[in-house]
Structure 1
Amino acid sequence: MKRSRLYKKSGILALTIVLGIAFVHIVQIVNAATAEPEAEDEIILASLDYVDDKINSLKSSLDEMTKKYEEAQERLEEIESYGKFVPLELTKDQILIAGESAEIILRGGKALAIGGEGGGLSDITSGSGADVNTDQEVPLNHLLLISRDDGRGIKVISEKAWVLVKGPYTIE
């Protein structure tokens, strides 16, 4: 008899738990079905001044980025042009002043070296490690390296000279 009472009480307890869980789930389903959608239909109000300020801010940012892009493009083109030898035809008494890290090859004609404060033109081809100093004749087909931007270059002494230059330079 004691056993049957225990089974009856535990059956009622189990039924109560199952009905409670079912009730909680039904309440959640009803709440989910009647809930309003999130921010889909909401209208956000902003003043015209705020919107204009944001547009002007974006325009100025775009202008700055465009300017930086154009400057970078110009610099890239300048760097790319330094990567190739440029053939030049110079006449008597013209002076070619090379910038830092420039390279010169005298292909034809005669020219004298113009040294700078730190020395002459580094003759890479000679193998001796000697510089071609001021007023020395520049040898044909030798690669000359200009290490600094201190006025180094060559002066043409023949009627014409043909030179290959890589890097920054000016002709006077």
Structure 2
Amino acid sequence: MTKKMKLGMIMLATLVVGSSVYAAKGDAGSSNDPLVTKSYVDSKVTQLQKTVEVQASMIDLLTQEINNMGKEESSSYEVVTVPAGQSIVGKQGTEIIVRSGNGQVLASDGGGLQDMTEGTDLLGGSEIPKYHLVIIPREDGRGIYATKDLIVMVRGGYNIQ
């Protein structure tokens, strides 16, 4: 049962119970409980249905946003294996630590990668030192090409190509 269906069923049940309690309180047609026309009831039901539809679509949008939040970037390190001959390309601000294997810097026209451990700029084609924190400064195709199977720790967005 979808969230829309559950929400609709809950609202319908609440409406039925509420109207039953209200109807049991007074005499139909009295000044405390006036009779209403079918068109009035139909208009109110239509308003309620529109409100439920709007709220259900808002819930769907928020659910999608919540589900996508964890996919884009991670706040903790993730262990990733990069097969030889493939590359890991990071998004802006992605942090990578090479644990095992060999890899070379994939640079762009804007430069290479930043080795925060040494405090240096790693140029295209240079070997990535193991256990060094490397940062991808821009999302312009920079990353690491695996010359031998790589095991890396990654924090942030990335793609394996």
TM-score, reference length from structure 1: 0.68
d(CA) in 2 for partners of 1:166, 1:87: 9
The 1:44–1:72 alpha-carbon spacing in structure 2 relative to 1, beyond 3 Å, is farther
The 1:55–1:134 alpha-carbon spacing in structure 2 relative to 1, beyond 3 Å, is same
**Residue 61 of structure 2 is aligned to residue 45 of structure 1:** no
**Residue 85 of structure 2 is aligned to residue 96 of structure 1:** no
The match for 1:163 among 132, 152, 157 is: 152
* Corresponding residue SS for 1:82: coil
Q: How far off is 1:90 after superposition? A: 2.2
d(CA) in 1 for partners of 2:150, 2:35: 74
Structure 1 residues 103-112 or 70-79, which shifts more?
A: 70-79
Partner of 2:123: 133
* Corresponding residue SS for 2:64: helix
d(CA) in 2 for partners of 1:137, 1:44: 84
Q: How far off is 1:44 after superposition? A: 6.7
In structure 2, runs of 5+ residues without a counterpart are 1-30
Structure 1 residues 110-119 or 51-60, which shifts more?
A: 51-60
Runs of 4+ in 1 over 6 A off after TM superposition: none
Letter in 1 for 2:32: D
Letter in 2 for 1:154: I
* Corresponding residue SS for 1:101: coil
Residue pairs, 1:1-172, within 5 angstroms: 41-43=32-34, 45=36, 47-78=40-71, 82-127=74-119, 130-158=120-148, 160-172=149-161
Q: Deviations over 1:28-56 (max 9, x none)?
A: xxxxxxxxxxxx81427362331232122
TM-score, reference length from structure 2: 0.72
Q: How far off is 1:60 after superposition? A: 1.7
Q: How far off is 1:171 after superposition? A: 0.8
Q: How far off is 1:102 after superposition? A: 0.6
In structure 1, runs of 5+ residues without a counterpart are 1-39
The 1:44–1:86 alpha-carbon spacing in structure 2 relative to 1, beyond 3 Å, is farther
The 1:136–1:61 alpha-carbon spacing in structure 2 relative to 1, beyond 3 Å, is same
d(CA) in 1 for partners of 2:132, 2:35: 74
The 1:62–1:44 alpha-carbon spacing in structure 2 relative to 1, beyond 3 Å, is farther
What is the Cα-based RMSD across aligned positions, in Å? 2.1
d(CA) in 2 for partners of 1:170, 1:41: 67
